[in-house]
Amino acid sequence: MTASFETAWIPPGPLTVADLEGMPEDGHRYELLDGVLVVSPGARWSHQFAAGELFVTLKQACPAHLDVLFAPFSVRPGADPSSPVLQTELQTELQPDLLVAEHGQFRDTELPSAPLLAVEVLSPSTRLVDLHLKKAACERMGTPHYWVVDADVPSLTVFTLVDGVFRRAAHVERREVYSADEPFPVRVRPADLVTRESGPRP
């Protein structure tokens, strides 16, 4: 975080998703929750490696009518494709690390509804945000499945929406295998998401 925050990229008045398009391309992730701006630092190697491995695993198992995408891609619940003016009223935009949704649900610039699956890979900075804030936001928008990867353990925790509330449906660590039925059949082993034990060169 530097003095660049002094610049006037935060416009006056209530923030909407339209304002996010004016944010700098500085490697930070800019998200909006009910008008509260959340700016997360750029990801670390272990985060990107795990997200990348899981993306490939999901992509290979994904049926034709669904798409798997990786961040940054905007989830804007309530965005009405027929009303671009609404962009200046919407106050929530999330960018999950990975997301799965029906192919036909995507617009070119956004997913205007809850994804079928949102995945967050924890990092030291976003641990509280991912485990609580974004999980609560995904729950509220009706996301059926929310997965949390902790690359440090490594582990995968699966939350499933039951009567509008996320329940912890599974938790696997290291070489244990999670066999998902939803949003499509796929097997995930946390150890496979962090195979390169040596990590990056300093």
Partner 1 sequence: MAGLHAVPETGGRRYEVLDGVLLVSPAPTLAHQRALLELMLHLDRAATADLEPLLGPFAVRPDGLRPLAELTTELRPDAVVAPRSAYADDCVPGPPLLVVEVCTAETRLVDEQLKRFAYERMAVPSFWLLDVDADPPEVIVYELDGASYRLTATARGHEVLTVARPFPITICPADLLSR
Chain residues binding partner 1 by CB under 8 A are 1-6, 8, 10, 12-15, 33-41, 91, 124-129, 131-133, 135-137, 140
In this complex, which beta carbon is closest to partner 1, that of residue 62 or of residue 141? 141
Q: Which is nearer to partner 1, 79 or 137 (CB)?
A: 137
- Tell me the C-alpha distance between 134 and 88, whole Å: 22
Least distance (Å) from partner 1 to the CB of residue 194?
Answer: 21
**Cβ proximity to partner 1, 91 vs 105, nearer residue:** 91
Smaller CB separation from partner 1, 51 or 172:
51
Q: E strands, 74-185, where?
A: 74-75, 98-102, 110-111, 117-121, 145-150, 155-162, 165-173, 178-180
Residue 172, strand partner residues: 156
Residue 95 and residue 71 in contact, taking contact as beta carbons nearer than 8 Å: yes
**Residue 20's CB: how many other CB atoms inside 10 A?**
18
Distance CA 159, CA 126 (A): 18
Judged by CB, which is closer to partner 1: 128, or 177?
128
Record the tokens describing residue 57, joined without a space: 């695993």
Shortest distance (Å) from residue 29 CB to partner 1: 9
Q: At its nearest, how many Å lie between partner 1 and the CB of residue 180?
A: 25
In angstroms, what is the minimal distance from the CB of 94 to partner 1?
A: 11
Q: Could you tell me the smallest distance in angstroms from the CB atom of residue 92 to partner 1?
A: 9
